[in-house]
Structure 1
Amino acid sequence: MRHTWLICGLAICLSWGTSVRAEVTITPDVVYGHKSGLAMTMDVFTPTENVNGAGVLFMVSGGWYSRWQPPEQMQDRFKPLTDKGFTVFAVRHGSSPKFSIPEAVSDVRRSVRFIRKNSDRFQIDPQRLGVYGYSAGGHLSLMLGTASDDGDPAAKDPVDRVSNRVAAVVAFVAPTDLRIMVKDAPDRLDAYARFPALDLDLKAAEADSPLVHVTPDDPPTLLIAGDKDDLVPIEHSRNIQAAFEQADVTSRLIEVAGAGHGFRGEDARRSTASMVEWFQSQLAP
């Protein structure tokens, strides 16, 4: 079923680091913040060989749902990156329907601040952070690319004083303009009624639409989308690519011929290879 691609998910551990395979150390459930009496967590996948000092965040989000999964089951997903020496952070945000898109955006911004503040702990360069995700995860990745800040030096919480900017973005099949997807949008696709996260008014939708926030200081961004996507039409990617070009932002759009909302087989292999190559070129020391 094609639309199940939207639902992609990924025990507080007392010890720092649990070795699962010789080439990668998995540190599960690292707490990067709290809200509503709950911990916000990420899993960290650290290569033990050929470490390049760069970090890549993966947005655990599909339809703005964020689900827990044993990290050992996700390790192969990140192997193309860890094999090249990247440390991968699988970030979970407050999940729909309990939490809204604006809250998810706030959560992932905090995750970047936390990782940067703790860069020595993770043995990464705080200036070489990338982010990627699929569908809703791609949307959150683009929000980090287009609508981040340098932190608030007057904030009471030291984490909030740190920048949440990233140095490179890869967004797969990503919504870029929520204004045409939310409940008040005229002629919106019927399928969007299945996603309670889109129960936003037009003002909130505009605030969390990456297309609105494109500016010349945005980081290099790779967009990958299927030209037959009937859930998030490729116009989302084409429109923000045009905005990037107008703002003179380093960017590229790969259109996967005949693909819908998600890739399989050779399309999946090629798109993953393109993602890894993008991070290699943009996050090099």
Structure 2
Amino acid sequence: MLRKLSLLSLFLLTGFLVTQARAADSTIDRDVVYGTVGDMKLLADVYSPAEKSDAPRPVVLLIHGGGWRGGNKQAGTVVAIGKMLAKQGYVAVSINYRLVKDGADGQIENQWPAAIDDCRQAVRWIRENAEKLNVDPTKIGAAGDSAGGHLVSLLGTTDAAKPGEPSTRVQAVVNIYGPGDLTKDWTKYEISANLAVQEMIDRFLKKGNEENQIAASPTLHVDAQSANFLILQGGKDQLVPPSQTEALHEALKKAGRQSEFVLYENDGHGFGPATGLQALMKAMTFFERELKGESAAK
């Protein structure tokens, strides 16, 4: 979905993180090709700890928000979070993916499943290049906000791998106010007077296409193989209601998966300064447990 502000929503937080994650703590390999679609190159920025390691590192895939129609891998806070992860001993991979747009012929381009196909390709690429990246292909996390939260949730609840292909499922997911069920009625939610959430979903999934709505709804795909989740939600979110993320959380628990749901009651779609920092710390603690701690050893 569209964000009021960038991931975790704060320039203040961005400045704090950039200060904490100095260039000396990490290296950035920009515009790495992780796949191609026709003549289009799919690009990623790879953040790695500056200090070398003999042991493979856990890796976190970062997926930006923007309503499946905007945003990019170099959003200010994505850069800061990538550096923070690298400082803490992770490899972070921030990707661009195909965005919904109007084509020259009047047709809508890059509708479902373009975005999730690209995200899954990024997971495959990480696993296929694990040795080169010095990462553990069994310890892949993913984090995203809004539309990015939706896409990482699909990576945690589905696996599109064909026989003989690397899995496209990740092991740990941080969903920041990302929708879980696109089969619901969204007509009362508006981004602005000129753009309703339902219209944005219809452009993404093709209006009235129930098969796409189901396929694109992570809540409907939760099972015993799903990843463990941390779900961060604003109680006053007027674009993605708490009922969406709560339902995903309940489905995960019912399936026997670990899920932590954190509701910041006074925040909306985009967190305030204090909440943004709390959310970041929650996410870092979650990945420490799931990708480095006891959960990762299981």
Query: Could you tell me the TM-score, scaled by structure 1's length?
Result: 0.84
Tell me the secondary structure at the aligned position of residue 278 of structure 1: helix
Q: Which residue number in structure 2 is paired with residue 255 of structure 1?
A: 263
AA of the residue aligned to 2:189 = L
> Cα deviations across residues 141-188 of structure 1 (Å, max 9, x unaligned)?
0000001144432xxxxxxx21112110000001001112xxxx4745
2:105 maps to what in 1?
A: none
CA 1:170/1:70 → structure 2, altered by over 3 Å: closer, same or farther?
closer
What's the counterpart of residue 48 of structure 1? 50
CA separation of 1:92 and 1:99: change in aligned 2, threshold 3 A: same
Letter of the structure 1 residue corresponding to residue 182 of structure 2: L
Aligned pair partner of 2:29 in 16, 27, 30: 27
Structure 2 Cα separation of the partners of residues 63 and 96 of structure 1: 9
Q: In structure 2, what is the equivalent of residue 189 of structure 1? A: 189
Q: Distance in 2 between matches of 1:118 and 1:44?
A: 12
2:291 matched to 1:283?
yes
Residue 115 (structure 1) aligns with = 126
Aligned match for 1:60, one of 58, 64, 67: 64
Code of the aligned partner of 2:246: R
Distance in 2 (alpha carbons) for counterparts of 1:43 and 1:151: 27
1:197 CA drift (Å): 2.1
1:232: which partner in 2? 240
C-alpha displacement at 1:28, in angstroms? 0.8
Please give the residue correspondences for 1:154-193 in structure 2 after superposition, counting only pairs within 5 Å.
Answer: 161-180=165-184, 185=185, 187-190=187-190, 191-193=196-198
1:4 aligned residue: 4
Structure ranking higher on relative contact order (CA contacts 8 Å, 6+ apart): 2
Match of 1:85 in 2: 89
CA distance in 1, matches of 2:169, 2:245: 21
Name the CA shift for 1:7/1:49 in 2 (closer, same or farther; >3 Å).
closer
Q: In 1, are the aligned partners of 2:112 and 2:212 still within 8 Å (CA)? A: no
Which digits, 9 at most, give the CA deviation of each residue in 1:9-56, with x for residues without a partner? 9xxxxxxxxxx9222111111111111321111110111138671100
Distance in 2 between residues matched to 1:8 and 1:64, nearest whole Å: 17
Contact 1:42 1:92 in 2 (8 A): yes
- Say if 1:77 and 1:36 are closer, same or farther in 2 by CA, change over 3 A: same
For the residue of structure 2 that corresponds to 1:228, the secondary structure is coil
Distance in 1, Cα, partners of 2:260 & 2:281 = 14
What is the rounded CA distance, in whole Å, between the counterparts of 2:118 and 2:131 in structure 1? 22
Question: CA deviation digits over 1:90-110, x for unaligned, max 9?
Answer: 011111123113111111011
Cα separation, 1, equivalents of 2:235 and 2:186: 23
Q: How far apart, CA to CA, are the structure 2 residues paired with 1:204 and 1:59?
A: 21
Count of matched residue pairs: 263
In the TM superposition, residue 75 of structure 1 has moved relative to its aligned partner by 3.1
Q: Partner of 2:57: helix, strand, or coil?
A: coil
Identity of aligned residues (%): 28
- Using the size of structure 2 for normalisation, the TM-score is 0.81
Question: 1: CA distance between counterparts of 2:34 and 2:186?
Answer: 38
> Which residues of structure 2 form unaligned runs of 5+?
10-21, 102-108, 191-195
Contact 1:24–1:46 (CA<8 Å) still a contact in 2? Answer: yes
